[in-house]
Amino acid sequence: MNLSPVCYALRSLLTAVCRRGMPTWISCVLSAAPCLGLADSVTLHPVADTRITTQSPTSSFGAGPDMVIGTQGPRAGTPKNRGLIKFDLTGQIPPFSEIKSVALTMAVAKVPDMQVDSIFELRRLLQEWKESEATWNNRIGTTQTWSSPGAAAPVDFSSRISATTLVSGVGNYTFSSTTNLIADVQAWVDNPNPGTNFGWIVLTQSEDVAMTARRITSREGGANAPALFIEFTASQTQPPRLSQMSLLGDTVSFQFDVDPQRPYTVEFNNVIGTTNWLTLTNITAQPAPTNITVSDSVTASHRCYRVKTP
């Protein structure tokens, strides 16, 4: 079957070779996808969601039909409330797929009598939590706490906003697709280890303002439960595979096969799952298939590498 050459252009994400401190270990996580392929979509519902609140900082609310998110009124003591929500992508999106768009819809079931409109935001969670155990003070049980009560950036959740939406009265609200929201889901697809997907935290940007609280239908709320809509392009080709990884002193080396007439860039970062990658070396287009060896002198305790091609 003849395909346009653009069908072979790999999306720019191949993560590989992580080096950590003592004891040193090396692993390889491969992820890439073609620029064109079979367009598809999937709609998911949460596998876990809950709210955490200053009103009851040691209580869990994971089983409720809704989640209060925002700041309540003076009669309640103006407590702050935040939501936690997680979706399981396992088996839903083929490996090496490219995420094209992401949208999260949530339903506001109840508003205060003297409501104040505010912008709600999503931020990617970076710490594990349990639906039946998460509270304002703790994320798991009574011993595994947030870095600060209620969770805080950059330890518990990302410093960057994934998406926002203005919330007013009763109805459905959508966090529309953004590059950051796509990057969140792409990272979970590229790194399917359950230890990377902790979902999002949902909060109002006006936590110091009373009456911004809203009752959001939870996954136990039936037809109006949150829904995550993902559009993706399924992979039709395999990524270059890194091999012969070795560590000699502080020098990490690895190899990968290159296709002819295609340039490659090897990048590195000391934190996996981030967007701030730096160029290690550029590989010019080769006239014929060949094997490339790359070496790097590493002083950091943790470093990851990826290979990309236009």
* pLDDT tens digits, one per residue of 140-168: 999 999 999 999 999 999 999 999 999 99
All residue ranges of the chain with pLDDT < 70 are: 1-38, 236-239, 272-275, 310
Output the pLDDT for position 217: 97
C-beta separation of 45 from 226 below 8 A? yes
* pLDDT tens digits, one per residue of 257-303: 888 777 888 888 877 666 678 899 999 988 888 999 999 988 777 77
The total of other beta-carbon atoms located within 10 Å of residue 276's CB is 8
Mind listing the domains of the chain with CATH numbers? 5-37+238-308 (2.60.40), 40-234 (2.60.120)
Output the pLDDT for position 41: 95
Per DSSP, the three-state class of 219 is: helix
Cα 309 from Cα 291, distance rounded (Å): 15
Output the pLDDT for position 25: 29
Output the pLDDT for position 262: 79
Output the pLDDT for position 34: 37
Output the pLDDT for position 37: 53
Output the pLDDT for position 272: 64
What backbone torsions phi and psi does residue 211 show, to the nearest 5 degrees? 70, 15
Output the pLDDT for position 271: 72
Output the pLDDT for position 80: 98
Output the pLDDT for position 249: 84
Q: Are strands 80-86 and 66-71 parallel, antiparallel or unpaired?
A: antiparallel
Cα 266 from Cα 263, distance rounded (Å): 10
Output the pLDDT for position 269: 83
